[in-house]
């Protein structure tokens, strides 16, 4: 489409809203399938009993590598929207999901080498890239006043791919089926999402060929500040989504079926509340919601540490689910901050109206991919922290979850093995709380009105409204 002016209310009501919502629907579908594929190995490892010969540390490393690739490919996926167009790239990105699903279908059986499993896990990373291109694309379709809700729906609908994959695995495990049955369901869904994108999505001429925005976004300090905050929210969501089932198996001796019955709940709730986080940010300001959210995440993590030390499965599971919910809320509020920050910068630079809105869309669209990539690396850090924690504690609770047959004694011995990892997460949330307050909410001391810095101080505090 050659003309796109979402901030123009007459244009928006006449045709913009209808086109934007249609693209949002099929963007959500593509991103949903992408997230399902990206988190594929978080459930594949639940099928891998003793006959596969892979211990808990090896399984954590498999899911860590999937997280790593998913983070790295978000950068080129972001630029691909400007280079090829949102519709065109969605078709390509959806089609690429056939690589990891077909490869896993081919090798998923005992006797396959660890290297082959590792290659398949690495391939699933392309599913993580879908988030960056989808969010960059949808950001361009909606006016600033609706971005929090629209981006929250887009991301939340995609994030739900995590619990849907886990629920599908639960159904397959409960029915006595194998991993190939699960993969056989997803392969045709990948094809359907690509076809629907081709039929119903649009390219925006205002987005294509604007690769210069990426260079500007890289140089802006707010891109990297928001990257840190997104490590705390989305990094937690995706890292815990990959690790939750394995933690229950390894630390508390749950069987694969018992773990699968609980694993989906946190990601599901975290996905559903992401649009709520965006809506709250639209109303009260993203920075304020983000600050209180990180404070609550730190408190919930402290409860997890206590539960881990005491070996209390009920308290541990409840607090972990609360962490998922808070990570989802924070995902919505932090992503709402991004377009608001760049629009505020445009206004401070003297731009107004559609010109300021256009600047904000350009820079925030480019920054979102970079922020999403760095945020996903937080998931890698979480899984590596768990791998190290459980490897260190293996002597105390070796085999606690191997084969899903450990008894109460083994679980008790292993309890507390993940405490070191959780303490490091607690420090991260405290840091994010401090940064949010210092950069976006701290009121400067009352300046001398004649001071040259007065305007800059007032402008800094204006970010509290983003």
Tell whether the model's pLDDT for residue 372 goes beyond 70: yes
| Residue 107 and residue 116 in contact, taking contact as beta carbons nearer than 8 Å | yes
Q: Does some domain include residue 240? A: yes
Q: pLDDT band at residue 399, thresholds of 50, 70 and 90?
A: very low
If one counts the domains in the chain, the total is: 1
Mean pLDDT of 232-244: 92
d(CA 57, CA 178): 23
Q: Does some domain include residue 163? A: yes
DSSP letter at 267? H
Cα-Cα-Cα-Cα dihedral sign, residues 226, 227, 228, 229: positive
3-state secondary structure of 151: helix
Q: Does some domain include residue 49? A: yes
Tell whether the model's pLDDT for residue 388 goes beyond 50: yes
Q: 167 lies in which domain range?
A: 9-394+415-441
Q: Does some domain include residue 254? A: yes
35: left (phi over 0), alpha (psi -120 to 50) or beta: alpha
Q: Does some domain include residue 454? A: no
The two tokens of residue 315 are 């308290």
Q: Does some domain include residue 1? A: no
| Residue 124 and residue 220 in contact, taking contact as beta carbons nearer than 8 Å | no
Q: When comparing pLDDT for 391 and 327, which is higher? A: 327
d(CA 181, CA 386): 29
d(CA 462, CA 459): 5
* pTM recorded for the entire structure: 0.78
| Residue 81 and residue 138 in contact, taking contact as beta carbons nearer than 8 Å | no
Tell whether the model's pLDDT for residue 453 goes beyond 70: no
Phi, psi (degrees; rounded to nearest 5) at 5: -130, 75
Phi, psi (degrees; rounded to nearest 5) at 241: -60, -40
Q: Does some domain include residue 452? A: no
pLDDT, averaged across the chain? 85
Q: Does some domain include residue 464? A: no
The two tokens of residue 447 are 């300046």
For residue 360, the domain's CATH number is: 1.20.1250.20
Q: pLDDT band at residue 357, thresholds of 50, 70 and 90?
A: confident
The two tokens of residue 198 are 């081709």
The two tokens of residue 161 are 């791919």
Angstrom distances, CA of residue 403 to CA of 3, 51, 347, 390, 398: 59, 9, 59, 16, 12
Tell whether the model's pLDDT for residue 98 goes beyond 90: yes
Q: pLDDT band at residue 200, thresholds of 50, 70 and 90?
A: very high
d(CA 289, CA 175): 42
Q: pLDDT band at residue 218, thresholds of 50, 70 and 90?
A: confident
| Residue 399 and residue 410 in contact, taking contact as beta carbons nearer than 8 Å | yes
Q: pLDDT band at residue 123, thresholds of 50, 70 and 90?
A: very high
DSSP letter at 439? I
Share of the chain above pLDDT 90, in %: 46
Please write the tens of the pLDDT for every residue from 125-153: 999 999 889 988 998 899 888 887 888 88
Least confident of 31-40, 244-253, 346-355, 379-388: 346-355
Residue with tokens 């607090």: 319
Please write the tens of the pLDDT for every residue from 41-71: 988 888 888 899 998 889 988 988 998 999 9
d(CA 411, CA 414): 5
d(CA 391, CA 56): 8
């Amino acid at each position: 489409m050659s003309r796109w002016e979402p901030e123009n209310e007459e244009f928006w009501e006449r045709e913009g809203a209808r086109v934007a919502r249609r693209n949002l629907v099929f963007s959500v579908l593509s991103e949903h399938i992408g997230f399902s594929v990206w988190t594929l190995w978080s459930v594949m490892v639940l099928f891998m009993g003793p006959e596969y010969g892979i211990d808990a540390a090896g399984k954590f490393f498999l899911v860590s590598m999937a997280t790593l690739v998913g983070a790295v490919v978000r950068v080129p996926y972001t630029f691909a929207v400007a280079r090829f167009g949102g519709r065109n790239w969605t078709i390509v990105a959806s089609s690429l999901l056939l690589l990891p699903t077909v490869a896993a279908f081919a090798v998923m059986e005992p006797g396959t080498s660890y290297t082959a499993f590792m290659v398949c896990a690495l391939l699933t990373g392309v599913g993580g890239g879908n988030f960056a291109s989808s969010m960059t694309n949808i950001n361009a379709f909606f006016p600033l006043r609706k971005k929090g809700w629209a981006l929250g729906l887009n991301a939340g609908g995609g994030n739900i791919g995590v619990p849907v994959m886990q629920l599908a695995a639960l159904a397959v495990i409960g029915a006595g089926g194998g991993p190939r049955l699960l993969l056989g369901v997803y392969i045709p869904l990948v094809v359907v999402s690509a076809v629907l994108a081709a039929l119903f999505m649009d390219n925006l001429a205002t987005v294509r060929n604007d690769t210069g925005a990426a260079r500007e976004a890289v140089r802006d300090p707010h891109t990297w500040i928001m990257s840190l905050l997104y490590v705390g929210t989305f990094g937690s969501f995706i890292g815990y989504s990959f690790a939750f089932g394995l933690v229950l198996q390894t630390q508390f001796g749950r069987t694969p079926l018992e773990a699968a019955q609980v694993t989906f709940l946190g990601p599901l709730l975290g996905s559903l509340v992401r649009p709520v986080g965006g809506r709250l940010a639209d109303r009260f300001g993203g920075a304020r919601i983000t600050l209180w959210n990180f404070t609550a995440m730190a408190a919930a993590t402290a409860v997890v540490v206590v539960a881990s030390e005491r070996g209390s499965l009920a308290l541990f599971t409840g607090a972990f689910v609360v962490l998922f919910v808070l990570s989802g809320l924070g995902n919505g509020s932090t992503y709402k901050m991004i377009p608001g920050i760049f629009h505020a910068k445009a206004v401070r630079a003297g731009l107004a109206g559609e010109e300021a809105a256009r600047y904000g869309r350009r820079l925030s669209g480019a920054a979102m991919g970079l922020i999403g990539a760095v945020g996903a690396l937080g998931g890698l850090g979480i899984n590596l922290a768990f791998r190290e924690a459980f490897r260190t504690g293996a002597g105390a609770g070796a085999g606690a979850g191997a084969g899903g047959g450990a008894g109460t004694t083994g679980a008790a011995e292993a309890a507390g093995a993940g405490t070191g990892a959780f303490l490091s997460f607690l420090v991260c949330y405290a840091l994010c709380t401090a940064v949010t307050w210092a950069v976006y909410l701290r009121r400067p001391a009352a300046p001398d009105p004649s001071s040259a810095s007065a305007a800059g101080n007032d402008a800094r505090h204006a970010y509290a409204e983003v």
